[in-house]
Amino acid sequence: MQSIDEALKRRRYGAADPANPLRRALHRAGYEDSPPLTLNAVDGEHPRGRELSLAWLAGTVMTGITSVLLMGAALYVAFDGRESFSTASQALMFQRSGPAVLPTGTGKGDRIRPVAATRSEFEVVEASIRTVEDGRTMLRSQAFTRLDATLATGETALAADIPAFDPSAIATSEPAAPSGAAPAEIYTASVEGEVAITMAALPAQLLPASAITDRQAADLVKASLQDAYFEDAGERSLAYAAAPLSLPAATLGVAENVTVMSKTRLAGAGGGRSERIVTAKQATPLRALLLKNGFTEQSYAMVATTLRNVLPSLELPAGAKLRILMGPSRMSATPVPYRLSIYVHDPSTRAIRHAATAAMTDRGTYVIGQAPGMIELPEEDIEAADVGALPSLYRSIWETARKHDLDDATTAEIVAMFAYEVDLTQRVQPGDTLQLLATRPESGTPELVYASLRTGGTSRELFRFRTADGSVDYYSPDGETGKRFLTRRPLQGGGRLASRYGYRIHPIFKTRRLHSGVDLASPLGTPVYAGGDGIIKRAQWLSGYGRYVELDHVNGYQTAYAHMSRIADGLKPGMRVRQGQIVGYVGSTGNSTGNHLHYEIRVNGRTVDPLSVKLPRDKELPAQSAGDFTQAVGQVRQLMQRRPGEEPS
């Protein structure tokens, strides 16, 4: 508090005059006679009277700052690092009284933010196939399922219970054996019902009599060729006028039950939330569309209860559109639907209008909400995605397959087909696509005939083919199997890439040196598998590598596995191991800073990058089957390239 003497001095009044009127006024205002504040307090002692302690002042400030930081950290951990803790206010605006109409205003925050262009076509086609049964060649009509879909860029409840990524299971998997009369070849002629073909030698009595001798025929050919040359513009030319080759048109069937889904245009992303627009191509129950677009049975039941108050029926008419806003969940890693808006065509104006909106509350229930800001609803479906939360290729393939009702056995086979060529733990990119062609049996599991995965602008195709000895496998267009003879991530779950191949600053020695492999971080005790068939060269403790296993493979290839906590029982130098066999368990032995597998691949004694080196295939197509395989590839491509609903030429 300011002393009276100081106030009087600043006012240039005498400080000693007790009768001074200003002095009396200051007394009445609360001033008192006391000495000024001083910094003469002794450090370490509590300040007395008018004394100030800088140490105590600094301690008080630091205590406040520390408390704020601790409270903030506690809240951040409690909310699991999420940036949004409540439902968007726009989604909770209650429906006003009166008829529902489409809002006319458009706000910047209301714009849909699509990320990747997608187009998904799912259809059933009929084609003729040729099989061999009991030594007889049979022709019959076969239904095929054809899928051309963009990989899902966001996860929903469809992928909540998919199996964990397990490279060991993939390494030991084989193509599903054909059931019954699996199609050996797509035939290029139309058949009705079943046709049996029997080949026999032409009886000699049916051969026509020779009109000329072989010598005469040779002279005729020679003379015909000589007469075909003539002078034209100073150059010798061959006059060749053959009639157009006439062949039966390939009968590839008529498309049935065609469904065209999802198209998204390139744009920006938006903060953990995404929006999709789904169109009912025909009269469809609301439940069928919602369960394939992020809703669970429980959330659908809540939405249905809410919408029954404002909709006459939960059966969507043809052309109806759903606008679904997805967002992060506080209870699971899978996004949940924040808002559902339904739009239908007005019979009187033929314009689309808003019918109803259901929005999620903070308690996880759904209430009637106001229509979101208007956007131009496109004819085709669009889907937005959050580029900061894209799923892995593995989870995206499962999400896409379940959205199109593929059975889990077929999906697992698709994953196994591409696991050797593609890093399935990397994030899916907008625009990545999956193409499939599979049989559609009346009972049993569908059999894949063709699969194509396009990632990062690179397409990889695999065709199912049965060789003359009856073995079935998937081959690239060049006649190589999709399976590599070495795996790139030989541990359960694939691990997290902690350090790449190449020069780096060593985390322990702090010097720049070559990192001769890749470090795959994984919990202690995670099984480590042999990258390929080989012979054990070492299985021992090796200096800074800790517990170490080294395998010799064919053609000068070697693999090494280091820092393991334990080597598998019974492994000794000279033993043979199979691809996918356990050789040890993840640990942190030797010069290591944490639990991980150090994995090396060497070619002729030189280390290479295990994640990028081009590895040879496990096997190649026999030379005697090359012609039949080329024909089969052409027939499959002809069927895949035909536009939906197009009649065969």
* Three-state SS letters, 570-635: CCCCCCEECCCCEEEEEECCCCCCCCEEEEEEEECCEEECCCCCCCCECCECCHHHHHHHHHHHHH
Strands 256-261 and 235-238: unpaired
Residue 275 phi, psi (nearest 5): -135, 140
- Residue 600 backbone class (left: φ over 0; alpha: ψ -120 to 50; beta: rest): beta
Mean pLDDT in consecutive groups of 10 residues from the start of the chain, 649 residues: 53 54 77 68 59 76 91 75 46 40 38 46 71 67 80 79 72 52 53 66 71 80 62 39 36 38 39 75 86 86 90 88 84 82 83 88 87 77 68 88 86 83 80 85 76 86 83 83 78 88 91 93 93 92 94 89 95 91 94 94 91 75 82 85 60
The pairing of strands 433-439 and 382-383 is unpaired
Q: What pLDDT sits at residue 175?
A: 54
**Cβ burial 65-84 (10 Å sphere, 16+ → b, else e):** eeeeeeeeeeeeeeeeeeee
For residue 506, give the amino acid letter. Answer: H
Per-residue confidence (pLDDT) for residue 514, from 0 to 100: 93
Tokens standing for residue 232: 């034209």
Structure tokens, 578: 């199979």
What DSSP element (H or E) covers 222? helix 214-227
- Residue 548 has a pLDDT of 96
Which pLDDT belongs to residue 172?
A: 55
The residues facing 349 across adjacent strands are: none
Question: Rounded distance, CA 542 to CA 448, Å?
Answer: 46
Q: Are 536 and 505 in contact (CB under 8 A)?
A: no
